[in-house]
Structure 1
Amino acid sequence: MANKGSILAVDDTETSLKVLSDLLKEAGYSVRSAISGELALRSAAHQAPDLVLLDIRMPDMDGFEVCRQLRARPETRDVPVIFFSALTETDDKIRGFELGAVDYVTKPYRREELLARVATHVNLRRIQLQVTAQNEELRHYRAELEELVAQRTAELQKSNRHLVLASFALDQVREAAYLMDGKGRFFYVNQEACRAHGYGAEELCSMDVTAIDPDFSPEMIASATAQILAKGSLTFETRHRRRDGTIFPVEITASAIRFEDRDLTLSLARDISERKEAERRLHESYSQLQELSSHRETDREQERKRIAHELHDELGQHLTALHLGLSTILYRMGNENAWLTERLEVLTSNAYETIQVVRNVAASLRPPVLDMGMGEALDSLAEQFRTTTGLVCNVTLPTPFRSLTKEALIAMYRVVQEALTNVARHAQATTVDIAIVQDNSRCWLEISDDGQGFDPSVNRGKSFGLLGMQERIELLGGEFSITTTPGKGVRIQVRIPG
């Protein structure tokens, strides 16, 4: 077994010391034993262990004194000490920690607990030694680096070749580079900057930022320079102007530079015309998608309305005629044929139930109550919800209630309908409150319940119901939000124009 570390075990009881030593050796540690404090100090001074397990109650020199002397000696001051003792007084523990102990184990100790604590502190000790060694190595490298930097600095002070090299490097980058002072005046530009603006290097170096940026003023230059010097760097978007007057968008990354006691700014400008064009097209595509979605919703509602009318007016009439025909036959048959009478009664009942099903389907596709206004529509939904679930459903409307556009009316009705469906299926609520508030330009809808709520940060899969509600409202230029925490219900807030 690989050596996990060296441990100095100190106990004045030979039996306890042997049991402890055997336990640690079985766990893979190299163990040195000391039956007194004096022997422990000699052993530690000869070769510092990775950890000291120290009994408190010992004759001549107790564990507290041993710990104090270990901490006083340079070669052992960083060795972690764990006290183990039958003492359980808080004062003893506090005193041990004040003397520098890292842990305290009470006898009789549990094997797993002791080994876990030992492993933790041995590993921390080894990490500490590694960090110390690495720091020493880093200090060595730093000294070498500082010497190298000093040599290089002396060489560069004798020559201006570094300026030529810097200029050459900046000329290779694809971004336009500008080196300027705190007032935005250029005193170096690279070749890409000349190409981007159509000026020569000398011409640009006779200008300042306001000559190539139509959006910048001297006050803005001072403000931006202060931010760059404070933060070290700054990235932002602006516009640049070419020699021929054309404007193009750029992304600027500006960095602060300290050179010969001067605060300078190095700015790299990237032409983002293609990216802006892509963003414009994406925005147009999104707008078209919204328009198509709105058109789809309108067509969907129109189709719902058409199907509902066909079900109610055509299929409903045929079923009603069938029901009346069966009723007439049943009436005229009387009791002449008991079997036939019974079958006619069943068919008549089925026809009546089918008529009711058709009416319910038509009503769910396009509730006729929508034509009566939002107030009646919400009252109808609430009454249907109360009847179906047995829960309390309160509706609060403004007085007077200003009528909504057809699109807003349908969208808000569908949101309430979907929300009540979710409450019935998932919320385990007892009460649902629906409220509408209006002002001169907007309408607010709030639906809240006292159910179990949910954690919004937990992935709940594809919540098409919530996505559908949000999409309906956003297509009207409105805002949709949901607030919930586990055990505190759900609140949906909708705000739309009108």
Structure 2
Amino acid sequence: MPNGSILAVDDTEASLKVLSDILKEAGYSVRTALSGRLALLSAAHLPPDLILLDIRMPDVDGFEVCRQLKAKAVTREVPVIFISALSDAEEKVRGFQLGAIDYVIKPYQRDVLLARVSTHLNLRRMQLQVRAQNEELLRYRAQLEDTVAQRTAELEDSNRRLRLMSFALDQVREAAYLIDKNGALLYVNQEACRAHGYSAEELQQLNVMDIDPEISQEAVAANWQITWDIAAGPVTFETRHRRRDGSTFPVEVRSSPIRFEDRDLALALARDIGERKEAEQRLRESYAQLQELTSRRESDREDERKRIAHELHDELGQCLTALRIGIGTIRYGQNSNSAWLNERLAALTSQVDDTIRVVRSVTLMLRPPLLDMGIGPALEWLGSQFQNTTGLTCDVSLPPDFCDLTEAASVAVYRIVQEALTNVARHAQAQGVHITVKQNGRGCELDIRDDGTGFHAWATETRSLGLLGMQERAQQLGGYVVVDPAPGRGTRVSVWIPSLHTAYTRS
């Protein structure tokens, strides 16, 4: 960026080129003019930061150019340095009278020329800065005066509204209290009197601590600081208020800072929330019952899956195996040379084998037998099956001193991992999954990571029911599931189950 723009004026081309080259080498943006008329036109079109003006010119001399520059508003403030081959005191005086700021003698002394140009450009910049600052101060003063006038009007309006407040607050259905920084009740409305069983005069003789058994003087000071010094706005909290007969009731208090006649006060509106608290308690009880029913449903479902899996494996599997052996016995024991019969027996054997594989697959999907041996072997088998089925890498890391979980916790962890792997296979576009199990005295931590497209690819599509099911299973055991969104960098599912385990040593 140039150090400044300079208009150089001289009717001698050689002298003008020397001057222009010196200035350009010093980093200035230079425009030139070979006559006074061209100089006036150039300066009026685009005022420079500084003008170097030769005095002796044929058409319009430098003095007349300077006079016209200073006569026009657009160029009046541009500093002018006269250039002359003569050192005439009268010329200097005349130039200064016309508004010039300095005088340079030809031939040019480079260092002197650049020093004077730099000095006057810096002075010009400082003048402009001072002027801008003065204008900014004037604007700020006008804004400040407007603000003071506005605040004064607002204060007068606030005082008028506050004088009407005692009437307005008596019309609301919430208990209203005007409180000072020490907790004294300066004003109460009719609803406050009804709620506590006091008259207005009696309540105004009391303190916040007299009507709120859960608050102390320190708490009053802390609430005051929050209301006035920190939040500078309404603060809402729940507490209990005491009636005249000593009974208490829950309230929600909204405290707002107000100023009246140079006093900092707080206006507190208290709402009886007894019915809401009862409804919340009923809702919590209903949720607990729902969780218990859900847990029981899942337990019954797992028991049914276990029973069906055992029946398929023990009864149907044995029947199919016996059928296959029988067909094999007929196939290899008969002496018939019938090609048709041999073909039919081979087809039946193949169908029985396919059915046995389907039964085994259904049995494993319902409940893998390895789950009866503990969650560790079950997770290793699940990872192996996932890897064989999808072709994706699946590593399972178990601690060497792993203590097995209870059956309910094992089933929950197994189903959570199963659902997570299903989501990875369907949506993550991953190359591999790593499952890590850690344990400490507090519980079992499970970490499932993939290197796919990230959380957004599967867990947020339709508020995944699978994810909700994973969270519900963990919550039933007092644990939780957290999905770490990392679009483009894979997905991490963290599961924590509280300490529910039995002795188990990994072989």
Q: TM (normalized to structure 2)?
A: 0.67
Aligned equivalents of 1:367, 1:242: Cα separation in 2: 63
Q: How does 1:219-234 map to 2 (within 5 A)?
A: 219-230=218-229, 231-234=232-235
1:167, distance to aligned residue in structure 2 (A): 2.3
SS at match of 2:307: helix
1:145, distance to aligned residue in structure 2 (A): 11
Q: Are 1:376 and 2:377 matched, yes or no?
A: yes
Which residue does the alignment assign to 1:166? 165
Aligned equivalents of 2:436, 2:157: Cα separation in 1: 78
Which residue does the alignment assign to 1:270? 271
Which residue does the alignment assign to 1:50? none
8 Å Cα contact 1:333/1:341 also seen in 2? no
SS at match of 1:172: coil
1:454, distance to aligned residue in structure 2 (A): 3.7
Say how many residue pairs are matched.
376
Per-residue Cα deviation, 1:279-315 (whole angstroms, up to 9, x for no partner): 1111112111111111111011011111112212222
Give 5+ residue unaligned stretches, structure 1. Answer: 1-56, 74-98, 100-134
Taking a change above 3 Å as real, the CA distance of residues 58 and 405 of structure 1, as seen in their structure-2 partners, is: farther
Which residue does the alignment assign to 2:205? 206
SS at match of 1:214: coil
Which residue does the alignment assign to 1:193? 192
1:421, distance to aligned residue in structure 2 (A): 2.2
Aligned equivalents of 1:143, 1:238: Cα separation in 2: 41
Per-residue Cα deviation, 1:7-57 (whole angstroms, up to 9, x for no partner): xxxxxxxxxxxxxxxxxxxxxxxxxxxxxxxxxxxxxxxxxxxxxxxxxx9
Q: Which has the larger radius of gyration?
A: 2
Q: Which amino acid aligns with 2:434?
A: D
Aligned equivalents of 1:384, 1:289: Cα separation in 2: 34
Q: Which moved more, 1:414-423 or 1:186-195?
A: 414-423
Q: Which moved more, 1:320-329 or 1:251-260?
A: 320-329
Aligned equivalents of 1:440, 1:222: Cα separation in 2: 42
8 Å Cα contact 2:257/2:264 also seen in 1? yes
1:67, distance to aligned residue in structure 2 (A): 12
Q: Which amino acid aligns with 1:171?
A: D
1:173, distance to aligned residue in structure 2 (A): 0.7
Identity %: 56
Which residue does the alignment assign to 2:361? 360
Aligned equivalents of 2:407, 2:250: Cα separation in 1: 42
Aligned equivalents of 1:457, 1:219: Cα separation in 2: 51
Taking a change above 3 Å as real, the CA distance of residues 171 and 352 of structure 1, as seen in their structure-2 partners, is: same
Which residue does the alignment assign to 2:346? 345
Per-residue Cα deviation, 1:189-208 (whole angstroms, up to 9, x for no partner): 11111100111112111110
Aligned equivalents of 1:171, 1:491: Cα separation in 2: 57
Taking a change above 3 Å as real, the CA distance of residues 58 and 461 of structure 1, as seen in their structure-2 partners, is: farther
Aligned equivalents of 2:183, 2:158: Cα separation in 1: 31
Aligned equivalents of 2:284, 2:362: Cα separation in 1: 39
Per-residue Cα deviation, 1:168-209 (whole angstroms, up to 9, x for no partner): 221111011111221111122111111001111121111101
Per-residue Cα deviation, 1:227-275 (whole angstroms, up to 9, x for no partner): 2222133211111011122211111111222222322222111111111
Aligned equivalents of 1:147, 1:401: Cα separation in 2: 74
1:495, distance to aligned residue in structure 2 (A): 0.7
8 Å Cα contact 1:450/1:488 also seen in 2? yes
Give 5+ residue unaligned stretches, structure 2. Answer: 1-38, 51-71, 77-124, 126-141, 500-507
Q: Which amino acid aligns with 1:434?
A: I
Per-residue Cα deviation, 1:101-136 (whole angstroms, up to 9, x for no partner): xxxxxxxxxxxxxxxxxxxxxxxxxxxxxxxxxx99
Which residue does the alignment assign to 1:242? 243
Q: Which amino acid aligns with 1:221?
A: V
1:62, distance to aligned residue in structure 2 (A): 5.7
Which residue does the alignment assign to 1:445? 446
SS at match of 1:455: helix
